[in-house]
Amino acid sequence: MPLLAIETSCDDTCAAVLDGPTVLSNVISSQADHERYGGVVPEVASRHHLELAIPVVEAALSDAGAGFDDLEAVAVTAGPGLIGALLVGLSTAKAIAAPRRLPLIPVDHLRGHVAANFLEPEPLEPPFLCLVASGGHTFLAAVRDHGGFEVLGETLDDAAGEAIDKAARMLGLGFPGGPELERLAADGDPDAFTFPVAMSRDPGLDFSFSGLKTALVYICRDLGEAGTAERAADLAAGFQAAVVGQLTTKLRRALDQEPWPAVALGGGVAANGPLRRAVAQLCAERSLPFKEVSRELCTDNAAMIGSAARFTEPIAYPDYLRFDAFATGPRGGG
Ligand SMILES: Nc1ncnc2c1ncn2[C@@H]1O[C@H](COP(=O)(O)OP(=O)(O)OP(=O)(O)O)[C@@H](O)[C@H]1O
Ligand SMILES: [Mg+2]
C-alpha cells in the first residue's frame, strides 16, 4: 500500500508516492517568482503552495498509478521551515488523511535530507557519517540508526547554500544561485583570487561561511562593477573552491576522530559537482564507501520526506487534527 508524502517547507511544492523504500513518483514544482527579489519571499511562497498543493499531489498520484483511496498513510514536513509554507502542506495532508481516517506522519525536514540516502536504488544502511549542506543548514550528522542523528558540528553563522546564493547574487546570477555559480565556476580559475578557508585552524567540527561572503564583498568592491563582471568566472571558481574546501576539511577531520563505515551527503549543496568529486576522492583515499545520492534527491523533494516517514511514529486520526507545524526545532528529529 503506498504512502503519500508532501513537502512545502520553503519555495518548492513537492509530493511523492512511495512503496517502502521505492519511489513510485516524485513531483517538484519550483516557484520562479522569487527570482526577481533575489530570495524567497515567505508570503509569496505560501500563496503559491496554496495554488499548487493539490495539482502537485494529483500529479504524484497519477504518475504512481495510484488514487487517494489506495493510500495507507500521509507524511508531511512539519518543520523546520517557513511557517506559512509549512502550514499549507500540513493542512493539505490533514485534509487528505482525515476523511479517510488515515494516519498522519509528521516529518522533520532535516531528517528528510539524511533519509534520502535510505531510498532505492542501493539504500545505505546506518551507521554512516552524513554531511548536510543546504540553504538553511550546514552540519555533520552521525547517523547511527534510521530514526535520527546526532549533530557533531554545525555552522556558527550562515549555511553553505545561503553563502553561495549571496555570492551568486553579487556576481549577477539568478536565484537560487548554486547551479548557476557551479556552471560559471567551470570556466574560471579557482586560484586567481585568495579566499579564506575559514575554521581550518579551529580543532572542532563547526563551520563558518560569513567571512567568506565578506571577502567576496571586498574583492568585488576593489574590482568595481565592470571588473567584477569581467572576472566573474574566476570569482565564482574561487568562492566555490573555498566552500568545498571548508566542507571537506571538516569531513576529513570527523573521519579522523571516529571510524565510520560509510559517508553520505544531503541537502541542496550536495548537488554540487566539485563537492561530490572532492568527497568521492576523500573516500577513495580511505577506501570508504561513498553513497552518491542522486542530485534531485539532494534539493528539496517529498521522496526524502516519505523515506524519513518510514522510521517516524505515525499519529492516528483524530489526534493529528491539533498537531501544528514548527518553524525551528532541535536538530536530529528529537
Ligand atoms: N549545484 C549546486 N551547487 C551548489 N549549491 C547548490 C547547487 N544546487 C543547489 N544548491 C543550493 O542548495 C540550496 C537549496 O538546498 P535545499 O533545497 O536543501 O535548501 P532549503 O530547503 O532551502 O534549506 P533547508 O533544507 O536548510 O531548510 C540553495 O542554497 C542552492 O543554491
Ligand atoms: Mg531543504
pLDDT at 316: 98
The residue whose C-alpha atom lies closest to atom 16 belonging to ligand 1 is 268
Q: Is 299 in the pocket of ligand 1 (CB under 6 A)?
A: yes
Class of domain 3-116+298-322: alpha beta
Report the residue among 9, 10, 40, 82 best suited for mutation to probe ligand 1: largest number of ligand atoms under 8 A from its CB: 10
How do residues 269-317 score in pLDDT, each as one tens digit?
999 999 999 999 999 999 999 999 999 999 999 999 999 999 999 999 9
Residue nearest to ligand 1 atom 30, measured at CA: 178
Ordered by start, the domain boundaries in the chain are 3-116+298-322, 125-292
SS (H, E, C) the chain: CCEEEEECCCCEEEEEEEECCEEEEEEEEECHHHHHHCCCCHHHHHHHHHHHHHHHHHHHHHHHCCCHHHCCEEEEEEECCCHHHHHHHHHHHHHHHHHHCCCEEEEEHHHHHHHHHHCCCCCCCCCEEEEEECCCCEEEEEEEECCEEEEEEEECCCCHHHHHHHHHHHCCCCCCHHHHHHHHHCCCCCCCCCCCCCCCCCCCCCECCHHHHHHHHHHHHHHHHHHHHHCHHHHHHHHHHHHHHHHHHHHHHHHHHCCCCCEEEECHHHHCHHHHHHHHHHHHHCCCCEECCCHHHCCCCCHHHHHHHCCCCCECCCHHHHCCCCCCCCCCCC
Q: Report the atom number in ligand 1 closest to the C-alpha of 12.
A: 17
Give pLDDT tens digits for 227-277.
Answer: 999 999 999 999 999 999 999 999 999 999 999 999 999 999 999 999 999
Given this chain, do its domains 3-116+298-322 and 125-292 carry the same CATH topology? yes
pLDDT in tens, 32-87: 766 666 778 888 889 999 999 999 999 999 999 999 999 999 999 999 999 999 99
Span 125-292: which CATH code? Answer: 3.30.420.40
